[in-house]
Chains A and B, each alone.
Chain A
Amino acid sequence: MKFLGLSGFIGCALGLALGVGFSAPAHSANFVIGEHTPLSGKLARVGTGSHRGVMTGIKVLNDKYAGQHTFELKTIDDESSPAKAVSAVEKLASEGVIAFSGGYASGVIGPASEAANKANIPYITFGGVATALSQRGHEGFFRINSAAGYGKALVGLVDEMALKSVSIAYSNKEATHKMAGYIEKKLNEKGLKVSTHEYDAHVKDFKSIVNKIKLRDRSEAIVMVGYESEYVGILRAAKLLKPDVKAMIGVWSLATGKMAKEFPDLMENVYGTAMLPFPVSFNSPKQKLFYEAFKTNFKDEPSYLEQFGYVQTRLLGEAIVRAFDKNELNLKGIADELRKTDEETISGRVRFDEHGDNPEFVQRVGQHQKGKIPLVWPASSKTGEKVFPGTPWQ
């Protein structure tokens, strides 16, 4: 730091000495951002996606501030374990990272962000939706998404369909359990008949669940709250048993390009939350920036995981640069700058309330249609009309 200050001073002095208005960078710095994410263990799949997003964010930051600042990412695999995530945070803290971007699952994020707080380092994430996380009074805890954002989108969609009954099949994991509870409550309030079916992630056969929905619940739609392999299982069972429903709706990890490519025969007409349509016509400069940076590193289509990881990292990077310019590169400085964020990102508008939550977070809903996923809800972001009623077997 001393050295940087000195070189900055020399830079300024040179500028002054030359007496011309060229804007040489007054300061330059290398900002080290830390990340703990599950690259192995049961969360490896989502952790890897999030990690790619964070890497893309770092790349875009480096391009933007080329010649001025550099951003460096230090990543440690937390193995989907809280204790190892805490160790990772402590290790990275001792190596001098100035902020954290990452984490997945509330139970891992909780202890890890606690450790970051103890080390006076800000922490930004999208991986945990438990309300309690932002209620702990951490000055440096930020989260760009919220459970309510997903829930509102699904409830909004179901509302628009004017359905009378819905069956929810959900995994008995932390996030899915809470999400299913939220949706059930909201739909009940709207007077719908809601039946719930809890399953364990180890279950291999979903026919019995779908058959119950078909013969006993006779609901008009099935809402799935789970993860990729489970969606595939439920959709296969549904395609086989053909329950008389008007829509198959899922939460995260479903309306993605990957699913459209890997399981084209299962996905037709299925809904899921999404921020962007697929294939994304990345038209706006912001979207292009992300997409091109992503494509240089990965030969793949980005999903919501990559987008969120990217957005949180880029916002963090911008806040760091602003804090640095004010000579306030510390927890308070970065947190203050993050709190000033108010930006239309590729994942929607982001600003933070006093708890570090993003009250603007709303998800949109996409529908798989012939290998593409247009956005069909809300009306303001529509890029296509929904096929309704419609299921993979109709």
Chain B
Amino acid sequence: MNIKISALMLGVMYLGVPFFLGDNDYLIGLVASALIIAGVAVAWALLGNLGGMVSFGHAAFFGVGAYTSAVLTMDYGVPVFVALVVGGVGASLSSIFMMPALRLRGPYFALAILAYAEIFKILATEATGLTGGAGGLLSIPSLPVFAGVDFGTKLGGYIVILNIVTLMLITYYFIRRSSYGLALKAMHDSELATRIVGVPATYLKVVMLLVSAFMTGAVGAFNAHYINFLEPDYAFSGTWTVFPIVAAIFGGYRTLSGPVLGALFIYLVDQLVFKNLIPQGHQLILGVMLAGMIILSPSGLLPVITNLFTRKKADNKRGEAQHA
């Protein structure tokens, strides 16, 4: 069911969105911004779902990826698409500093990662020579023309971030199916039991952290070239942590496509509907909706949709049976 929804979603994103919205920069831009949140949300959910670690500091990876890529392209002339990948690697490397926190549990781990994110932000502000400090970096190169396609346009950017998110989903899917995934799931249920059976829990957690950091870093790098601007306050903003978490939980963080659907839904509904209802302070409705969702459907949006589908299917079947 889940994989079907993912496939359907990607189909719509690849074919439907460019076809219907392709010439509307505003709407394409909104969907692309939502996908940026979605990318981080998937990375966060991977760590949360497979690694059993709830992070409050994904902004750290986002920021490190963004700065790595921006500095490489601006000061060292590295091609943008290469820099996106290196941005991910940079974020992975930065996650090594966080390894000691892996022995912490639950909220303690979450808060430790938050502290790391704050520390990274302050370091980026103080390392003026490298990052431009609080003054920030303007005119970061846009996505380039590649194979005759200008990725610097809104639609081009959209395609790139969509590809990034799709690759992430595929990776997520295969990790989950692999023996790693099984071990991780077992670990999630009982770490002690897995240790006794001989699965190296810490090793698995380390790998998941590296992967999640890489993904987030790449998305952060993309955003830097998409917005063409960075300052520490922006690159390491708590928004990059909070919104993805909200999106993931909203969509259903234990599912594959939940985080993406959640991000799209929250971002688009907020910007297209609520903002028109209350031009200033529309986030208020978002807050209400979030709270309501957690209480009424705690496992997220996806189960609601899934239920809807299955019920419909069941209804149809019943209908068919009656006809027959």
Q: Are A87 and B29 in contact (CB under 8 A)?
A: yes
Q: Does A342 touch B at the CB level, under 8 Å?
A: no
With contacts A75-B279, A111-B229 known, what are 10 further pairs, Cβ within 8 A? Answer: A39-B280, A107-B138, A110-B138, A111-B227, A114-B228, A132-B138, A172-B134, A174-B135, A174-B231, A176-B134
With A40-B283, A77-B275 as contacts: A133 and B26 at CB distance below 8 Å: no
CB contacts (< 8 Å) of A86 on chain B: these are 29, 227
Interface string of B210-249 (1 = CB under 8 A from A): 0000000000000000011111011000010000000000
Q: Are A94 and B26 in contact (CB under 8 A)?
A: yes
Distance A118 CA – B157 CA, assembled complex (angstroms) = 15
The smallest C-beta distance from A226 to any residue of chain B, in angstroms, reads 12
CB contacts (< 8 Å) of B133 on chain A: these are 172, 177
Interface string of A112-149 (1 = CB under 8 A from B): 00110011000000000010110010000000000000
Distance A173 CA – B279 CA, assembled complex (angstroms) = 27
The smallest C-beta distance from B22 to any residue of chain A, in angstroms, reads 13
CB contacts (< 8 Å) of B125 on chain A: these are 172
CB contacts (< 8 Å) of B283 on chain A: these are 40, 79
Q: Are B229 and A84 in contact (CB under 8 A)?
A: no
CB contacts (< 8 Å) of A173 on chain B: these are 134, 233
Partner of B26 from the list A77, A91, A136, A177 (CB cut-off 8 Å) is A91
Q: Does A106 touch B at the CB level, under 8 Å?
A: yes
**Residue in A39, A132, A133 whose Cβ sees the most chain B Cβ within 10 Å:** A132
With A40-B280, A178-B135 as contacts: A82 and B24 at CB distance below 8 Å: no
Q: Does A76 touch B at the CB level, under 8 Å?
A: yes
Distance A349 CA – B128 CA, assembled complex (angstroms) = 35
Distance A107 CA – B223 CA, assembled complex (angstroms) = 14
Q: Are B25 and A90 in contact (CB under 8 A)?
A: yes
Q: Are A83 and B280 in contact (CB under 8 A)?
A: no
Q: Does B139 touch A at the CB level, under 8 Å?
A: yes
Q: Are B279 and A76 in contact (CB under 8 A)?
A: yes
Distance A82 CA – B29 CA, assembled complex (angstroms) = 12
With A75-B279, A107-B234 as contacts: A84 and B134 at CB distance below 8 Å: no
Count, chain A residues at interface, CB 8 A: 36
Q: Are A83 and B135 in contact (CB under 8 A)?
A: no
CB contacts (< 8 Å) of A55 on chain B: these are none
CB contacts (< 8 Å) of A224 on chain B: these are none
Q: Are B227 and A83 in contact (CB under 8 A)?
A: yes
CB contacts (< 8 Å) of A39 on chain B: these are 279-280
CB contacts (< 8 Å) of B129 on chain A: these are none
Q: Are B29 and A132 in contact (CB under 8 A)?
A: no
Q: Does B33 touch A at the CB level, under 8 Å?
A: yes
CB contacts (< 8 Å) of B138 on chain A: these are 106-107, 110, 130, 132-133
Q: Does B181 touch A at the CB level, under 8 Å?
A: no
Distance A133 CA – B138 CA, assembled complex (angstroms) = 8
Q: Does B30 touch A at the CB level, under 8 Å?
A: yes
A82 to chain B: closest residue by CB: B227
CB contacts (< 8 Å) of B306 on chain A: these are none
8 nearest A-B residue pairs (beta carbon) = A90-B26, A177-B134, A39-B280, A91-B26, A132-B138, A172-B134, A90-B25, A83-B33
A130 to chain B: closest residue by CB: B138
**Residue in A76, A82, A119 whose Cβ sees the most chain B Cβ within 10 Å:** A82
* 13 A–B pairs (Cβ distance < 8 Å), ordered by A: A75-B279, A77-B279, A77-B280, A81-B239, A87-B29, A87-B30, A90-B154, A93-B26, A94-B24, A107-B234, A119-B25, A130-B136, A174-B233
